[in-house]
Amino acid sequence: MRQKPQQSRSRQMVDSIVEATMQVIAERGVADLTTTHVAQRAGVSVGSLYQYFESKEALLDAVVKRMTAEVQKLIFERIDTLMGQDLRTVTRALLAATFDYADAHRTLFVGVLTHDSQGRTMLAIAELERGFLDAFRLYLLQHHREVSVRNLPAAVFVVFTSAICTGLRFVIADSPGVDREHVIDLLVEAAVACLTRDATPEAPAPAATLPRD
């Protein structure tokens, strides 16, 4: 982005440009994405667009950042509402929500991934991984009496990488040939097994004994 919008009106214009970019990609694909198409859809002049975005690549960067932020917000909202639930329930909810988001934006995902010559996808994945790690840290802080994962970063790395690769493969494929719910079930079981592999549950209190005569 050439310059950050300072005023409310400028921020609204930038938001409308990013939203218009997402709409154009969904309708025409990344190959036919142009700044002219975006400006027309956003209802601004091309000159106004160029004040903030110098190229098509800059628009794509903004789209990826928007989608990453939306997924992170979704993760923390879901964690917040399910904080009292067990690990399996929370993991399933996070995976299902992420799959839902990817399904709803399938054209965007496919377009960005197939046109990524800037490494923006890997940067977004790294940012999402940090979000998942922070979310699980919050969850485990409230469930430390039930389970304590010795190496949370390593566990989340394996779980997240497995989930993101499987999820992207599932969303991108025209016909993956497998049932979505079964895929999520398997990911949940793998995630729970990985997260609890080195767990150190709190030892139960010793049973009370009657005094001897």
CATH code assigned at 76:
1.10.357.10
172, part of any domain: yes
Same domain, 125 and 146: yes
**Looking at beta carbons, which pairs linking 101-105 to residues 24 or more positions away fall under 8 Å?**
101/70, 101/71, 101/74, 102/167, 102/168, 102/171, 103/171, 105/22, 105/26, 105/67
Domain count, the chain: 2
210, part of any domain: no
Provide CB contacts within 8 A for 54, sequence distance 6+.
2
Do the beta carbons of residue 150 and residue 196 sit within 8 Å? no
Q: What was the pLDDT predicted at 205?
A: 45
Same domain, 44 and 116: no
Same domain, 121 and 43: no
Q: Would you give per-residue pLDDT tens digits along the chain (213 residues)? A: 555 655 677 889 999 999 999 999 988 888 889 999 999 999 999 999 999 999 999 999 999 999 999 999 999 999 999 999 999 999 999 999 999 998 888 888 888 887 876 788 888 899 999 988 998 888 888 888 777 788 888 988 999 999 988 988 888 887 788 999 999 999 999 999 888 876 554 444 444 444 454
> What distance in Å separates the CA atoms of residue 118 and residue 128, rounded to the nearest whole number?
18
Q: What was the pLDDT predicted at 6?
A: 55
Same domain, 180 and 79: yes
Same domain, 101 and 182: yes
Question: What is the phi/psi pair of residue 117, to 5°?
Answer: -110, 5
Same domain, 85 and 173: yes
Report which DSSP code applies to 201: P
Same domain, 101 and 17: no
pLDDT digits 0-9 by tens, 134-163: 988 888 888 887 777 888 889 889 999 999
Tell me the residue range of the domain where 48 lies.
1-54
Same domain, 46 and 68: no
What are the counts of helices (DSSP H) followed by strands (DSSP E) for the chain? 9, 0
182, part of any domain: yes
